[in-house]
Amino acid sequence: MRAACSWTLDMAIPLPHLLHSDRPLPAAASHPTPPPSSESAARSQDELKRVAAHRAVELVESGMVLGLGTGSTAAHALDRIGDLLRCGALRDIVGIPTSEWAAARAADAGIPLSDLNAHPVVDLSIDGADEVDPALNLVKGRGGSLLREKMVEGASRRFVVIVDDSKLVPRLGASGLAVPVEVIPFGYALTLRRLHKLFHGVPGFNLKLRTASVNAKASTFEEDGYELEPFVTDNKNYIVDLFFEDGIHGDLNLISDEILRITGVVEHGMFLGLASSVIVARKDGVVVMDKEMKLNGT
């Protein structure tokens, strides 16, 4: 059974009073909040993600066109929006899913769906990220949905990102995990060689075609991976995963342009300058980072 409809958060952990916006967040209930306990400090990352997702959903207003994110953190936001629609706290919401998975999850939650053709301007997108750097640049797409995510979130008036603190990095790629690049299947081996040439000489650089059995969040691949079927995105494209031992150094916008100039590349997973705010779930509470790099909360 889904949670009862309520605007109050259901975990007693410290929360910021305001997510930077041109409107205040809805007021919480007036009853006192119990102090944090040792049990709350030990709550799982998934529970903290749920609280952060609910915090982001407080920004949703009736009549909005919403970008619906993909992944485990975004799932909590989708479920919460569905709960609020069912009990009448929200109405006339239209969702633009960023993947086939998001479309199915949103439909199950009872969120009406449309697309960018009908709604080319999105009021608010809520989604997770794989990495967040100090300037709020992101790596996304380790689940394979980077193209649709970037299209929807790039069309948004506001893009709120939800992560746990393990996703914070000093520079993009510094986690040692994949920075994905979506490529067309035709001539993919040539595209892969051109990507390799672009980063030739970068210490610790490697790349690999993602296969159907590869875990994109692992930093190593089986040597016989070439015998497996390529991973196929919702757009029927392939993914090439780039790995950087010490992250990506240099001008990210210039590097982005150089990747996109390679014929056969569709899009990459660096989301530069798109995030308006990042809600970070930590074991001791939730904090909010905005585009002006101010940190609020506890």
Quick count: other Cβ atoms within 10 Å of Cβ 30? 6
Which one, of 254, 252, 230, 255, lies nearest residue 240 by Cα? 230
Tell me which of 39, 61, 149, 258 is the catalytic residue: 149
Residues 284, 41 contacting (CB under 8 angstroms)? yes
Is 47 among the catalytic positions? no
Q: What share of the chain is helix, strand, coil (3-state, %, to 5)?
A: 25, 20, 50
d(CA 110, CA 86): 8
187 — alpha (psi -120 to 50), left (phi > 0) or beta? left
Residue 100 φ/ψ region, left for φ over 0, alpha for ψ in the -120 to 50 degree band, beta for the rest: alpha
Catalytically active residues, by annotation: 149
